[in-house]
Amino acid sequence: MSEKFGCTVGLKSPAHITIIPPFWMEEEKETELLNAVDIISREVTSFSVVTNDFSAFKPRTIFIDVELNEKLNEVKILSDAFFKQQPDYKIKIDNRPFHPHITIATRDLHKKSFYEAWSIFENKIFKEEWIATGLSVLKHNQKNWDVVYTSQFKNL
């Protein structure tokens, strides 16, 4: 996507499934946030994540589709419920249905290029499976997103 369409936004963060959308927070509250992530993680056991080829939010985003399963949905519900009761973080809970995915190209994929790019991905097969073992916090460093913390799920 970078070479053919000049898309680099997707390269500015590690591959991830967004549970809570990006938000701004005072740096002095970061330790509290990491503790909050630990609280959520302690409620979840490791689980399988499965991808299901490619999909798109037409006409601007192409992504690897992730199958929504009970455990992944549980992480989303727990996180939303926790942060809904923590107004100090100023996290806006997304009211749209949860659609887990791994973004390939987004804001810098121009509408005029979308359909050409989508024709490359729409019939490609991408099946992977791995075990999710924790929640990570990403922080923007004015250029990229860095993983600054990972909280492990409880073991069975």
Quick check: bond before 87 cis, omega within 30?
no
Residue 145 near residue 13 (C-beta atoms within 8 A):
yes
Q: Please state which architecture CATH assigns to domain 2-152.
A: Alpha-Beta Complex (3.90)
Per-residue pLDDT, 62:
97
Mean pLDDT, residues 49-66: 96
Mean pLDDT, residues 127-138: 97
pTM of the entire structure? Answer: 0.91
Per-residue pLDDT, 48:
97
156 pLDDT more than 70:
no
Per-residue pLDDT, 93:
86
Cβ neighbours, 10 Å, residue 104: 21
50 pLDDT more than 90:
yes
Per-residue pLDDT, 92:
85
Per-residue pLDDT, 102:
97
Cα 54 to the center of its chain, rounded Å: 15
